[in-house]
Amino acid sequence: MKPLLEDYAYLWLEPIRIEVSPPSEPPGGDDGLRLPHVFTVAIGTAPELMQAAASRLLRLSQDEIKQHAEDAILAQLARATDQARAAEGRPDPATLESNLRSELAKLGLELVNFR
């Protein structure tokens, strides 16, 4: 007979505040690239986000979860910066937000806000 419950673990649903240093400005000074640097993320409560969080974040410390989220955010900020510089324009906030949400969802996180 197999046990009904072998183990359990918790994922904290409290929001996590992440401050990042955006990719460096070019040596020439301000080129108009203004990216957010304070983000708040949380474990998603939608079923697909909870499943992703359970498979990727369960048993990680809050610091480890924060580090994974920070890595995903920095990658998207670098991508937005590169695209804006290539197009000689400004990062599109809607595209950046969409890309951030998509990347964080892979971890089971949702973007609460950013500034």
**Which residues, in sequence order, are bridge partners of residue 43?**
109
Residues ≥6 apart with Cβ < 8 Å to 104: 41, 69, 72, 73, 110, 111
Quick one: pLDDT at residue 52? 97
Quick one: pLDDT at residue 85? 82
Quick one: pLDDT at residue 92? 81
Ramachandran category for residue 49: left, alpha or beta (phi over 0 → left; psi -120 to 50 → alpha): alpha
Quick one: pLDDT at residue 87? 80
Q: What is the pLDDT of residues 46-97, one digit of tens each?
A: 999 999 999 999 999 999 999 999 999 999 999 988 888 888 777 788 888 9
**Residue 108 counted as domain residue:** yes
**Residue 17 counted as domain residue:** no
**Residue 19 counted as domain residue:** no
Quick one: pLDDT at residue 105? 98
**Residue 26 counted as domain residue:** no
**Residue 100 counted as domain residue:** yes
**Residue 2 counted as domain residue:** no
**Residue 29 counted as domain residue:** no
User: Residue 78 belongs to what domain range?
Assistant: 35-112
| pLDDT bracket for residue 27 (50, 70, 90) | very low
**Residue 63 counted as domain residue:** yes
Number of domains in the chain: 1
Instruction: Kindly report the average pLDDT of the chain as a whole number.
Output: 87
Quick one: pLDDT at residue 31? 52
Q: Is the pLDDT of residue 22 over 90?
A: no
Quick one: pLDDT at residue 33? 59
